[in-house]
């Protein structure tokens, strides 16, 4: 029978050594690396290509010896056009050009100091992120561009007037052309980000399941909670950005035009995985909170550990079915394993509840009641995740 809080005697860790270990773990999780998708690699290549071409063309068209603004504008236009529909990409490109031209005008007209630069950057970031609703990664490009433009204007020994504006337009045109001629496949991008999300969720569940099969403490639960938070925030956001308007973007992308139904399937599955990520995060938080309250190391919970590992396999199997690697039969088989593990955990929860009721008048009665309620709360989250995974795989 699993017991949520049976203490095991363990010598306390050395204070400084424990703090260093936790600090190292926090840094490692904060910069945790995930394999890039083909779209992310393609954006790097297209950005470099557009910037280089813009520099060369601007040198020919204008008299500016170092057309930094052309390369900069091309780079930003490619960045803000990623995962955008044709209309949105053009709107964002126009906004970038207007922002650069405005910075040119302001840089020539006013004295730059800490206050004026701060206000300009705050205003540009606010417009990009709050008004134009650019993705955070693209929105950050705009104030950086403004700052580079201001530096270019103030450090230039000669004034090129309208040629700097022409240089900016040349860069924007090349950026738009590269984005249109070499569009990223939203189908591939969406499938890669969804697969990465499912693998991340499965990894967190596997880590918690393996950890619960042996004695566990705050050190382990902290790591589980941080990893679950990364999956819930970063990987879910990346998948949502990739899948979000993919069907609209597919209309002008010759590579994706015939796969609108598949993109619709990805949209439906994304909603399930988002809820699954929330449930996994809640499970990790429940284990972490309980470990902090108890302040002790706990004996193994093999039944709950096996349940979480089976759940991890079900999440990955569902994603394989969506991507066509497996079928609904495999999903059903994996869910049967989850239900079998859950039944074993429920029997343990009932026994724990009965014991708590029998000893509720004793001094440790409240603690025993809290233990089995926490155990039951874990099963509730598992049930919610299973409910999403049990829905038919979208056709």
Residue 26 lies in a domain: no
* pLDDT-based confidence at residue 146 (cuts at 50, 70, 90): confident
Instruction: Kindly indicate the confidence band of residue 174, based on its pLDDT and cuts at 50, 70 and 90.
Output: very high
Same domain? 292 vs 373 = yes
Tell me, yes or no, whether 231 and 373 share the same domain.
Answer: yes
Give the pLDDT of residue 175: 87
Q: How far apart are CA 369 and CA 284, in angstroms?
A: 20
Query: Is the pLDDT score of 361 beyond 70?
Result: no
User: Which of 180-189, 215-224, 359-368 is most confident?
Assistant: 215-224
Q: Do 157 and 203 fall into the same domain?
A: no
pLDDT digits 0-9 by tens, 196-251: 999 999 999 999 999 999 988 888 999 999 999 999 988 998 888 888 766 666 66
User: Taking the alpha carbons of 118, 121, 125, 127 in that order, is the dihedral positive or negative?
Assistant: positive
Beta-carbon contacts of 302 under 8 Å, excluding residues fewer than 6 positions away, are: 2, 212, 213
pLDDT bin (cut points 50, 70, 90) of residue 140 is: confident
Residue at which a domain ends, from 119, 154, 181: 181
pLDDT for position 152: 65
Portion of the chain with pLDDT greater than 90, in percent: 28
Per the domain annotation, does 220 fall within a domain? yes
Query: Do residue 130 and residue 244 come from a single domain?
Result: no
- Residues of the domain holding 229: 185-390
Is 4 part of any domain?
no
Mean pLDDT comparison of 41-50, 88-97, 129-138, 270-279, highest-scoring range: 270-279
Instruction: Answer yes or no: is 60 within a domain.
Output: yes
Confidence at residue 184, expressed as pLDDT on a 0 to 100 scale: 74
Question: Is 70 exceeded by the pLDDT of residue 369?
Answer: no
pLDDT at 387 over 80: yes
With a CB cutoff of 8 Å and minimum separation 6, the contacts of 160 are: 62, 63, 64, 167
The tokens describing 224, both together, are 């589980």
Residue 246 · residue 190 · CB < 8 Å: yes
Residues 136 and 198 grouped into a single domain = no
In a domain, 55, yes or no: yes
Q: Do 320 and 330 touch, CB atoms closer than 8 A?
A: yes
Do 290 and 210 belong to one domain?
yes
pLDDT band at residue 4, thresholds of 50, 70 and 90?
Answer: very low
221 plus 92 within the same structural domain: no
Mean pLDDT of 269-295: 88
The reply to whether 207 and 134 lie within a common domain is: no
Q: What is the CATH number of the domain that holds 277?
A: 1.20.58.220
Task: Please say which residue of 132, 160, 181 terminates a domain.
Answer: 181
Amino acid 14: pLDDT: 45
Return d(Cα 309, Cα 340) in angstroms, integer.
12
For residue 33, is it within any domain? no
Residue 150 shares a structural domain with residue 196: no
Is the same domain home to 218 and 267?
yes
How far, in Å, CA of 250 to CA of 265, rounded?
14
Q: Does one domain contain both 285 and 266?
A: yes
The answer to the question of residue 237 being in a domain is yes
* Domain end point (choices 165, 181, 197): 181
- Asked if residue 215 and residue 343 are part of one domain, the reply reads yes
Please give the helix or strand (H or E) that residue 7 lies within, else none. strand 7-8
Taking residues 24-48, report their average pLDDT: 68
Specify which residues 298 forms β-bridges with: 7, 216
Number of domains in the chain: 2
For the chain, what percent of residues have pLDDT higher than 70? 72
Comparing 258 with 262, the larger pLDDT belongs to 262
**Rounded distance between C-alpha atoms, residue 3 and residue 301, angstroms:** 7
Domain assignment present for residue 339? The answer is yes
């Amino acid at each position: 029978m699993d017991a949520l809080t049976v203490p095991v005697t363990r010598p306390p860790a050395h204070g400084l050594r424990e703090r260093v270990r936790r600090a190292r773990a926090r840094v490692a999780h904060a910069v945790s690396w995930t394999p890039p998708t083909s779209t992310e690699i393609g954006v790097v290549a297209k950005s470099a290509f557009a910037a280089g071409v813009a520099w060369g063309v601007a040198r020919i068209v204008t008299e500016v010896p170092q057309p930094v603004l052309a390369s900069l504008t091309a780079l930003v236009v490619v960045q803000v056009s990623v995962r955008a529909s044709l209309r949105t990409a053009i709107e964002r490109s126009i906004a970038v050009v207007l922002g650069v031209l405005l910075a040119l005008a302001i840089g020539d007209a006013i004295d730059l100091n800490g206050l004026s630069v701060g206000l300009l950057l705050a205003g540009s970031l606010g417009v990009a992120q709050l008004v134009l609703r650019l993705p955070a990664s693209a929105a950050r490009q705009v104030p950086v561009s403004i700052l580079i433009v201001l530096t270019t204007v103030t450090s230039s020994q000669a004034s090129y007037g309208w040629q700097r504006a022409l240089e900016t337009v040349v860069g924007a045109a090349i950026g738009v052309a590269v984005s249109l001629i070499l569009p990223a496949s939203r189908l591939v991008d969406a499938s890669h980000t969804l697969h990465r999300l499912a693998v991340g969720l499965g990894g967190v569940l596997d880590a918690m399941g393996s950890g619960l099969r042996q004695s566990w403490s705050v050190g382990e639960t902290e790591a589980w909670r941080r990893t679950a938070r990364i999956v819930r925030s970063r990987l879910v956001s990346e998948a949502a950005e990739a899948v979000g308007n993919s069907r609209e973007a597919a209309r002008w992308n010759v590579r994706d035009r015939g796969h609108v139904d598949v993109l619709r399937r990805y949209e439906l599955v994304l909603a399930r995985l988002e809820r699954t990520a929330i449930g996994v995060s809640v499970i990790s938080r429940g284990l972490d909170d309980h470990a902090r309250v108890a302040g002790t190391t706990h004996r193994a919970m093999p039944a709950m550990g096996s349940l979480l590992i089976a759940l991890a396999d079900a999440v990955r199997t569902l994603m394989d079915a969506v991507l066509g690697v497996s079928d609904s039969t495999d999903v059903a088989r994996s869910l049967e394993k989850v239900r079998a593990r859950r039944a074993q955990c429920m029997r343990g929860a009932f026994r724990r509840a009965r014991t708590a009721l029998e000893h509720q008048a004793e001094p440790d009665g409240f603690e025993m009641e809290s233990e089995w309620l926490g155990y039951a709360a874990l099963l509730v989250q598992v049930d919610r995740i299973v409910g999403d995974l049990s829905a038919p795989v979208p056709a």
